[in-house]
Chains A and B, each alone.
Chain A
Amino acid sequence: MSDFDQLADYVFKGNAAAVKDLTQKMVDAGGNPMEIISKGLLIGMDIVTPKFKAGEMYVPEVMMSAKALSEGMNIVKPLLTGADIAVSKTIIIGTVAGDLHDIGKNLVVMIMESGGFNVVDLGVDVSPEKFVAAIKEHNAKIVGLSALLTTTMLNMKVTIDLIKKEGLRDEVKILVGGAPVSKSFADEVGADGYCADAMAAKEMATMYLN
């Protein structure tokens, strides 16, 4: 097994310590950072994704893989040159104002990061103003809004309205998700897409960026 294959396998198995050691070893041996990511780390997640979709892997296993992946990324990322980092792959995400629930949102963050996205997580109870400021600051192309409560999901509309008012609506694609959220609700509040789960969010974000 090549180092790349071994690295991918460690990610797939969620072995964070082994991913960290092997990534460091490959870097020390002069390996190309971009290749370590694309031929090793992300390949591991590429094994995970279909297995998760098929119901063979469960969420805690996916999260272990994502954690292992980020151990490797932490070592390699600082070595990337500016040209390597695709600025357009930045995603702003947060739970909307008034809502403190973040299990689903955090899951999306991990899955997005494991897909190579640069995720700016604004946390919970995020005001529309904070979303707008973050879009400007990070030049993001994708915004993810999360809500669990029927009482707070309407703040998705408030947030989207402010993004419009600030003239940023055409700059970003807005994805929404959360237990009470539906496709028709997403249309109603003027979002670009409804994501039923974290994998759907990753796929939709990927689609919009390509």
Chain B
Amino acid sequence: MTKKVAVVGVGYTDFNSMTPEVSWKEFMYEACQKAYIDAGVDPREDIDSFITCSEDYWEGFSIFDEFVPDQIGAVLRPCCTVCGDGLYGLGNAYMQIKTGKMNIVAVEAHSKISDLLTFGDIGLFSYDPIFDRPVTGSVDRTHFAGIPSYEKNSPKPLVGKTNEKERIHPYFLAGLEMQNFLRKTGTTEEQCAKVVVKNKKNAFNNPNAEYEVNITIEDVMNSEYLFKPIKKLDISLNVDGAIAFVLASEEAVKKLDVEPIWLRGFGWSSETPWISTRSMDANYAMLASRMAYKMTDINNPRKEIDFAEVDDRFSYKELQHLEALGLAESGEAGKMLDSGDLDLNGSLPTNISGGSLGIGNCFEATGLQKALEVVIQLRGHGGKRQIEDVHTGISQSWRGIPSGSGAVAIFGR
């Protein structure tokens, strides 16, 4: 049985807030074709299995799996959909290869969220229909892709107006969690604001990022409260993008002319779906990382991991996740940020890609975006944003509001 699994190819599109020129098909085709060329494989001959990561309602289909195989080269081949983040896809690809029955597996994830006109309502549709939705209001028609909006006179954080009644925007849950995080750890709102400033600045060095901007902590602090303590600029904006990975067994790597980046370990975990009894401490990330550390044989993550790409779809999430991953003590992440540890030249460079705040929220592709940056850095292809002397990187993602699920993948050279 193969012992090791490597990333042998990556491909990705540009990240854009709108992509009206292509359908999801051409979009996925672009990312996959690049990944296959990068790996030097012919999908019609060499790839044994294909995995897509998607959720029906993000795409607007009842069975999105139907609309996948043609553009990723999977026609008349083993192919399936994982209803989860891209890192879940990588994990399943890893397991398929470890069975010894598959040598090369492709994983694709994408966001074509600009196709969805009623983002807020679809978000609410993921809340429990019996216990949660009824307390979120009644009928909201938020025709927004990403930016929750509201009228000046309406009570915040209620957003969206209709002729009938109002519904709350699904992101309110992040407000509850951030409140809890700040209180428990002593982290300040300014520190969270600093995450935004850092990541949006990092994005200047990522030519594929969409939301790079030079702003100050004051700019973030002065943006409106949408879900107190969450402010408008604490929230990552939606973006379209497709990312594909090609994974291979140790034996298959030898036949390919590529520098392998090893997928050394992965983990995932889910907390209870009951919002009222959940830890609100990102326990899912803690459990997922412990599984990954065990698989990777990492005992002291702080020392053994050189850099991190963590889920930062809300500013506080970056700090919360760093702590959950054991890369910072409780309450320490904000201080590390203050002292520059999370910068490009710091002791734990974090979200050097620009993260979701700088690149954009690419939904089920978020995990692959994090993993992509880790691979780019480990290959030494980071250009202006290259971190020096890196051997081990961690990528982590969360399944987004309102889930308590997430995954971790650790890569090494």
A, B assembled together: no
A residues near B, CB below 8 A? Answer: none
